[in-house]
Structure 1
Amino acid sequence: MLIWIGAVLGAGFILTFLQARMTWWALLTGLWILAGWKLGNVSPSTAGVMAGAAVPILALLMFRPLRRALLSRPAMGAFRQIMPRMSATEQAAVEAGNVWWDAELFAGRPDWRRLLSTPSPSLTGEEQRFLDVETEQLCNLANDWETTSVWQDLSPEAWAYAKDKGFLGMIVPKAYGGLGFSAYAHSQVIQKLSTRCSAAAVSVMVPNSLGPAELLLHYGTEEQKDHYLPRLARGEEIPCFALTNPYAGSDAAAITDTGVVCKQMWNGEETLGFRISWRKRYITLAPVATVLGLAFRAVDPDGLLGAEAEPGITCVLIPRDHPGVNIGRRHWPLNAVFQNGPTTGDDVFVPMEMVIGGRAQVGAGWRMLMECLAAGRAISLPSSNVGMSKLAVGMVGAYVAIRRQFNQPIGAFEGVQEALARMAGHLYATDAVRRLAAAALDQGEKPSVVSAIAKYHVTERARIVINDAMDVIGGKGVCMGPSNYLARAYQQVPIAITVEGANIMTRTLIIYGQGAIRCHPYVLTLMRTAEAGELKPFDAALFGYVGFLFRNVARALTFGLTGGVLIGAPRDAAPQLKRYYRAATRLSTLLALASDLSMATVGGALKRKGALTGRLGDILSQLFILSSVLKRFEDEGRPAEDLPFVHWAAQDALARAGAAWRSLLANHPSRGAALFLKLIGAPFGLKTSEPDDRCAAAVAALIQTHGPARDRLIAGSWTAQVEVDPIAVTLAAFDLYPQVEAIERRLKDAVRGGVIARAPQNLTLLDGWAAEAQGKGLITTQERELIGRFAAHADQAIQVDDFAPDFDIAAGLARRPTDTAPAKTKKKAA
């Protein structure tokens, strides 16, 4: 009897675990009753009663017309009563873009083969040459110190070069005179510029992300494309896009800028258009823009557009010199000095021909913005922040190797190693996210949730990297000047945190708010079909949802009781990393279960529970970051030298996901749901730990040592040259240090024997020490010269800039020989 009962329970559990079809349940029920009769566990009459009870239930569940009439129709009515209502703008936001790997993670059973088979990002020969030549040259023409302290902008020389070489039209197709670059090439260019000059990066990325060019490409009329795209590609037009309103932020759905449909004389003819009034701020490139993209709310009180028209958020493209346009003043965002400012207009008449896409696109602006925003989030901010992080890791890794304290490099101190490991580990992870997001875009995906994850977590981790870098180099990072490579990045990190929706909103609303509906395999279908009253698809989604829920309960319980040891990992994955695939799959199941229970217990109020949605979003985000790390290692050919980076980044992602899970249980509004999740999903706790000291030490050693691991980590950075910028002396000294270190090791016996003193910590005395060693025949003339060059570069690397008491920076700054601007002009600019 026990075996008979246990067998059906076990088989039922397996069918639940596999989310099996009802036919398998019917077969199991019949075999179980038959086995009970044959084994003598039940009498023939009892078996008949059991079959009589099972047949109607199975018939109800399997015969769909009957199921729809008796179960799904009442359920649809109840669902419509409790379902949170979505406005048209919310619906457009949810439906923007598509779902990709994020849906696999959200569904609880990720197909790792799908991720690993995604082509790795790559550059064409033309794109690589542009990165190596034109982008390198623009980096030579622009740096953070001169843009912020002298020009308060890119120099005229840099602006002219960027326009002439097509930097402002990278996304414009070649048919219109643009470069026609891939998303990955776009990302690589922005990343490289960001290792050198933030103003250059921002000035290039804005015309190539959310703005007139992208909107024209997707929605513009042929006449608009033919007119504007070639001019944008040649740099004859500089675009900006005015969205942010003082009372609505970047939420286009809430803007108060209004355009009233009207008729007015224009170019001698009565013309249909809008009379628009707007107040916009934080508009990047606005002060120098020649063409203004503008989002506003269209209203048609007189019905001039026709009875069937639905005015609403609309996007127009207006020339700067259009009558009534007020543009040109500047904001000053934390000394970043890229062009940014407000624009206003009062009752400005804009003809219908200036609507992006023409009259047919009136009211479609919200959808246009939501669909195009993913590219900007997935490329611009991740690329620029990874670039800043590469600058910090590359320079600080070199600095700690050559900077000595207590007769050893400061990079040998465990406290410093802890910070260095965070810097390098976060960089490895964020660069992996950047690469995977760009690869998705190049595969034709528009993953809105992934782009939000990339924007939020890359910018937040860049803040950690820069803060740690400032802690390590101390006063060197605090004192401003041409040789300070971190201060401007430190000032500017909060800008990335703020733009395109502040990170608090991105975390608590966008990542999970869109993910819970778009990425869930059934919720969006349930909402759509219930709203439309479509019973047949509602029925399929409802019972699919029920099976999905019970499947995740079974999976969570199994993984919780076994610690996840039974979870499969991809056969082709690196053996050292299979435990991370298993851990990610288990967390994916827990996320799916927690999401369904949260939606069931909190209901429509879930979108107001920012702390709860933020923690659920954190788990999803860390799973995506972990996936990106594992994918990057495979894409790069599993380099063994990089394993410390991979282990650190993977363990950090799991630790953060585990912390979010524990915080979720501790603070869940439904204590019953929290208890159920704990007992089912993690009865023995969810054991995750941060990277240990040995891992941190291994990571720290890699970034202060020449080798392929360090080279891959900071690949794509500007090639620093001493003749171009004084910050390059740190890397020049770092390049010489291994040879100097080898000489010092060779002289250890001579030092112990008292033949020569230990090499002095004071670098100004190192050349004299080398001369003494040469005089005693311990080193060659060439070795002495090498030590002298190292001492000169290293000494300059640890010095800080100073200025005249009146801080007349512009007059005293040594300019490049190619710059012919008079000193008076430079001083005025400063």
Structure 2
Amino acid sequence: MIWAGLLIFILFISAYMRLPLLVWSLTLAAGMFTLHIFSDFDPSSKYLLWIVLGAILIPLNFKPLRLNLFSRAIYKVMKKLMPTISQTEQEALDAGDVWWEAELFSGKPDFSFLKSLPKPVLTDEEQAFLDGPVEEFCGMLDDWQITHEDYDLAPEAWQFAKDNGFFSLIIPKQYGGLDYSAYCHSQVVMKIGSRSGSAGVTVMVPNSLGPGKLLMTYGTEEQKNYYLPRLAKGIEIPCFGLTGPDAGSDAGAMPDTGVVCYGSYEGEDKVLGIRLNFAKRYITLAPVATILGIAFKLHDPDHLIGDKDDCGITLALIKRETEGIEIGKRHFPVNHSFMNGPIRGKDVFIPLTSIIGGVDYVGKGWAMLMECLGDGRAISLPALGTAASKMGARYTGAYSRIRQQFHTPIGYFEGVEEALAEIAGQAYAIDAARSMVAVALDTGAVPSVISAIVKYQVMERMRTVLNHAMDIHGGHGICMGPHNHLARPYQLIPVGITVEGANILTRTMIVFGQGAMRSHPFLLKEVKAVHNEDERQGVKDFDNALFAHMGFIISNVVRSFWFGISFAKLVTTPGDKNTQYYYQQLVKMSSAFAFISDICVGVLGGSLKRREKISGRLADALANMYIITAVLKHYENQGSNREDLPLLHWACQDALFNVQTALKGITKNLPVPILGAICNSIIFPFTKPYQRPSDALGHKVARLTLNPSETLNRLSDGIYNSNDKDDATGRIDHAFNLVMKTDELQHKLRDAYKNGRLTSRDRDVYEEAKDKNIITGSEYVLLIETDQAIQNAIKVDEFSFKDWKIETP
């Protein structure tokens, strides 16, 4: 029994350490040799064991034999079962880079990569831009006037943005742009978005969803030299049209077409070009755009530019004044006033020089979009979501401190405290996720999967933050008006959830569907091998990937079980006494995730694409592991301040619980129940090791929002703060500061009331306290000023019928 245990131990250690097959085989053979020499087994049993061992190890290690005995047959079966990959799917898979998600898929993340990432920093020029033009621009914005009265930014705001390069954050300096970092880009959009969502969207679109990035990456020299300086100076306002009435997420269903033909253009006849017919909607900046980027399917029936009839999705730039363009009407997206509307084109003729990148890029449009427009997912939308979340944390906390019920700040009630804790914890996680992906872009990576994760996670968490904030503000948040800082961000939630890949689609199809194929160590290699037209080479490649994959699965089973029974306490990871536990649990969950991912792929095969509930849970697990990583990195980047530990603990514990919930949901819903039960017992042998953040921890987190501190400043850093005492947010800050300044005086008055020295309550007590010399005259003035500031902060707007502006059809 001891010797059998020794062999099992050798197998266990080999699998845990992921030894190469040959090393693993030699180690096992050495163990068998030791057993042969020293055990008291009878000779026939020993020789039988050698025969069994040889029958297994020799075919596994002798590749030609292994290939003919196993791999070729499996290859043929997989070739029949493997679903085809569409062109748009393939282009999505090829877009961007594999980044940190590959480490999470590995089951054994390399934290040295994480440690090597630089801190997000601004250059002196970028900081000056934020402190100067961006600050001034925010001061020009009146969101109530924008959204309720003018339905547009003021003309001077538009001009200021153009004159100061707000639409050229990403354009290189050689073309007149600012050429700022991705992190600065994020900070700019976040600050503007904290002042006005409509203004934030207006600035973000030319820097992410517009054709600028496409021109920089793929444009011809002539296109770059003409358009980029004009975009940088705001002479041209861009938009990009992809979505239409009949095609949203499914680009393959796009009915918009272009046909290569000859036509007339700007006075010239017999110009070789494209005749377009298209209908687009939901296009931001379309009503005011002067240059339109359009995606369409190109056809060349007369083979004027090549030998294909159907050339594929192609991108082109069209001038607004081109004949056949219908543009200018507006949509009205959830009471926000950023320009958004439809574009239609009927028999629009453009020259071939209008194709972005020229004829060489015909049919490559989807790949170009996947490669370039990820900035919307990685930078712009997360920046807007972070702005709303930071605002929610700072001003809901302040409001909860100044607003009283039963002579007690409402933030001290446990029901409100519970919501405040989630607001602050989610805001911290959101900022961490946003910052880390910006650093990825600044280091030259194009992390398409992480970008999708950040977009959907930030927006969903922002929804949670603003829902809680609205609950706490109550009627104060409901009553619209110039003094309401919360209602417009609350209304904007569906925009962030919907655009750049609706969150339902992103979660259930993109994150794991694309992430598994791109980031898994072996899956893409197996798929490519199966689809290799050279079958001989395909079988060889498949053999290499298949057996490496099998070893990977065995290793993750062993590692998951060991981490489950040891709670990953023995894993060597970075971190100090406050953070090492989370690094260890990240290793544990990475192994479990890799194991469960392979089970799902193996059991469900190609149908996994259609099993969106399973795929969505896998996406949740992967996304929350990224959140843990980002939070740990964020905490260290900000100086590992002990005062921030409650936020770190809350965010990491919440994310671990979410990973656990996702993985348990998968094992419970596998089509083979017994397999799900076995997988669950391997990963979680002691039921549920992770719990939601405790009430005690939530109390600490909530209190961070109720008192001024450096932690609160870090949590809300980067948003616009108004010094105007009558501003929507400035009045809350002013009252909050005065409440904290008079806190000791209020305690003094309460003690005097309890002791019978004061008999009055509410505002009358100040006069009585002054008359009885309990407070000084200056303290009395300060208390009255504080009371007036509180009343100003908690009041809501009122309108007469004649002042209530209602647009009639």
- For residues 450-483 of structure 1, give each alpha carbon's deviation from its aligned partner in whole angstroms, at most 9, with x where no partner exists: 1111111111111111111111111101111111
- For residues 268-322 of structure 1, give each alpha carbon's deviation from its aligned partner in whole angstroms, at most 9, with x where no partner exists: 2422211110010000000010100000011111111122686100000111111
Aligned counterpart in structure 2 of residue 778 of structure 1, from 774, 778, 786: 774
Aligned counterpart in structure 2 of residue 713 of structure 1, from 715, 718, 724: 715
The one-letter amino acid paired with 2:441 is L
Aligned counterpart in structure 2 of residue 603 of structure 1, from 602, 605, 610: 605
Shift of 1:656: 1.6
Aligned to 1:586: 588
- For residues 546-604 of structure 1, give each alpha carbon's deviation from its aligned partner in whole angstroms, at most 9, with x where no partner exists: 1101111111121223333333332xx13122222222222211111111111111111
Q: Answer whether contact 1:170 1:181 (CA < 8 A) is retained.
A: yes
Give the match's secondary structure for 1:276. Answer: strand
Q: Map of 1:8-23 to 2, 5 A cutoff?
A: 8-23=7-22
Q: Is 1:214 the equivalent of 2:210? A: no
Aligned to 1:239: 238
Shift of 1:12: 1.0
Aligned to 1:328: 328
Shift of 1:749: 4.6
Aligned to 2:200: 201
Q: How has the CA–CA distance of structure 1 residues 759 and 578 changed in structure 2, closer, same or farther, with 3 Å as cutoff?
A: farther
CA distance in 2, matches of 1:619, 1:185: 29
Moved more, 280-289 or 157-166: 157-166
| Structure 1: stretches of 5+ with no match in the other structure | 811-827
Q: How has the CA–CA distance of structure 1 residues 617 and 513 changed in structure 2, closer, same or farther, with 3 Å as cutoff?
A: same
Q: Answer whether contact 1:482 1:727 (CA < 8 A) is retained.
A: no
Moved more, 673-682 or 123-132: 673-682
Q: Report the RMSD for the aligned CA atoms in angstroms.
A: 1.9
CA distance in 2, matches of 1:405, 1:351: 69
The one-letter amino acid paired with 2:126 is E
Q: Is 1:538 the equivalent of 2:542? A: yes
Moved more, 747-756 or 467-476: 747-756
CA distance in 1, matches of 2:557, 2:39: 33
Q: Map of 1:618-633 to 2, 5 A cutoff?
A: 618-633=620-635
Q: Answer whether contact 1:37 1:43 (CA < 8 A) is retained.
A: no
Q: Answer whether contact 1:244 1:280 (CA < 8 A) is retained.
A: yes
Aligned to 1:165: 164
Q: How has the CA–CA distance of structure 1 residues 775 and 189 changed in structure 2, closer, same or farther, with 3 Å as cutoff?
A: same
Q: Is 1:558 the equivalent of 2:558? A: no
The one-letter amino acid paired with 2:462 is A
CA distance in 2, matches of 1:25, 1:695: 46
Q: Answer whether contact 1:196 1:391 (CA < 8 A) is retained.
A: no
Shift of 1:134: 1.0
CA distance in 1, matches of 2:562, 2:755: 67
Give the match's secondary structure for 1:719. Answer: coil
Q: Is 1:794 the equivalent of 2:790? A: yes
CA distance in 2, matches of 1:26, 1:666: 36
Q: Answer whether contact 2:301 2:309 (CA < 8 A) is retained.
A: no
Shift of 1:82: 1.6
Moved more, 26-35 or 157-166: 26-35
Aligned to 2:801: 805
The one-letter amino acid paired with 2:790 is A
CA distance in 2, matches of 1:309, 1:359: 15
Aligned to 1:680: 682
CA distance in 2, matches of 1:37, 1:164: 84
Aligned to 1:419: 419
Aligned counterpart in structure 1 of residue 662 of structure 2, from 656, 660, 666: 660
| Structure 2: stretches of 5+ with no match in the other structure | none
The one-letter amino acid paired with 2:552 is F
Aligned to 2:523: 523
Q: Answer whether contact 1:136 1:719 (CA < 8 A) is retained.
A: no
Q: How has the CA–CA distance of structure 1 residues 720 and 759 changed in structure 2, closer, same or farther, with 3 Å as cutoff?
A: farther
Give the match's secondary structure for 1:179. Answer: coil
Give the match's secondary structure for 1:181. Answer: coil
- For residues 246-283 of structure 1, give each alpha carbon's deviation from its aligned partner in whole angstroms, at most 9, with x where no partner exists: 11114323211011111123342422211110010000
Give the match's secondary structure for 1:168. Answer: coil
- For residues 126-179 of structure 1, give each alpha carbon's deviation from its aligned partner in whole angstroms, at most 9, with x where no partner exists: 111111111111111113211111110111111111111100110001111111
Shift of 1:799: 0.8
Moved more, 57-66 or 91-100: 57-66
Give the match's secondary structure for 2:298. Answer: strand
CA distance in 2, matches of 1:413, 1:52: 72
CA distance in 2, matches of 1:643, 1:758: 42
Aligned to 1:26: 25
Aligned to 1:815: none
The one-letter amino acid paired with 2:587 is T
- For residues 776-813 of structure 1, give each alpha carbon's deviation from its aligned partner in whole angstroms, at most 9, with x where no partner exists: 43333332332232222111111111011244359xxx
Give the match's secondary structure for 2:492. Answer: helix
CA distance in 2, matches of 1:614, 1:418: 27
CA distance in 1, matches of 2:542, 2:443: 31
Q: How has the CA–CA distance of structure 1 residues 579 and 347 changed in structure 2, closer, same or farther, with 3 Å as cutoff?
A: same
Give the match's secondary structure for 1:241. Answer: strand
Q: How has the CA–CA distance of structure 1 residues 262 and 406 changed in structure 2, closer, same or farther, with 3 Å as cutoff?
A: same
Shift of 1:119: 0.9
The one-letter amino acid paired with 1:618 is D
CA distance in 1, matches of 2:410, 2:248: 45
Q: Answer whether contact 2:213 2:373 (CA < 8 A) is retained.
A: no
CA distance in 1, matches of 2:168, 2:356: 18
Q: How has the CA–CA distance of structure 1 residues 126 and 309 changed in structure 2, closer, same or farther, with 3 Å as cutoff?
A: farther
Give the match's secondary structure for 2:329. Answer: coil
CA distance in 1, matches of 2:373, 2:74: 36
CA distance in 1, matches of 2:176, 2:119: 28
CA distance in 2, matches of 1:364, 1:506: 22
Q: Map of 1:78-117 to 2, 5 A cutoff?
A: 78-117=77-116
Q: How has the CA–CA distance of structure 1 residues 424 and 153 changed in structure 2, closer, same or farther, with 3 Å as cutoff?
A: same
CA distance in 1, matches of 2:221, 2:50: 69
Shift of 1:33: 3.4
CA distance in 1, matches of 2:728, 2:678: 60
Aligned counterpart in structure 1 of residue 705 of structure 2, from 700, 703, 706: 703
CA distance in 1, matches of 2:93, 2:396: 42
Identity of aligned residues (%): 45
The one-letter amino acid paired with 2:435 is R
CA distance in 1, matches of 2:766, 2:599: 71
The one-letter amino acid paired with 2:563 is F
Q: Answer whether contact 1:652 1:690 (CA < 8 A) is retained.
A: yes
Q: Answer whether contact 2:146 2:154 (CA < 8 A) is retained.
A: yes
- For residues 653-701 of structure 1, give each alpha carbon's deviation from its aligned partner in whole angstroms, at most 9, with x where no partner exists: 1112222222222222232431221232223223221111111111111
Aligned to 1:344: 344
Aligned to 1:132: 131
Give the match's secondary structure for 1:167. Answer: coil
Q: Map of 1:270-669 to 2, 5 A cutoff?
A: 270-307=270-307, 311-532=311-532, 533=535, 534=537, 535-570=539-574, 573-669=575-671
The one-letter amino acid paired with 1:785 is V
The one-letter amino acid paired with 1:80 is K
Give the match's secondary structure for 1:615. Answer: helix
CA distance in 1, matches of 2:164, 2:366: 33
Give the match's secondary structure for 1:277. Answer: strand
CA distance in 2, matches of 1:275, 1:177: 33
Shift of 1:725: 2.4
Q: Answer whether contact 2:16 2:556 (CA < 8 A) is retained.
A: yes
Aligned to 2:734: 732
Shift of 1:210: 2.3
Shift of 1:46: 5.5
- For residues 363-422 of structure 1, give each alpha carbon's deviation from its aligned partner in whole angstroms, at most 9, with x where no partner exists: 000000111132210111110011011112211111111111111111111111011111
Give the match's secondary structure for 2:619. Answer: helix
Give the match's secondary structure for 1:113. Answer: helix
CA distance in 2, matches of 1:206, 1:183: 14
Q: How has the CA–CA distance of structure 1 residues 30 and 723 changed in structure 2, closer, same or farther, with 3 Å as cutoff?
A: closer
How many residues align? The count is: 804
Shift of 1:57: 4.1
Shift of 1:324: 1.1
The one-letter amino acid paired with 2:507 is R
Give the match's secondary structure for 1:576. Answer: coil
Give the match's secondary structure for 1:195. Answer: helix
Aligned to 1:814: none
- For residues 737-776 of structure 1, give each alpha carbon's deviation from its aligned partner in whole angstroms, at most 9, with x where no partner exists: 122112223445543444334661xxxx3xx644443344
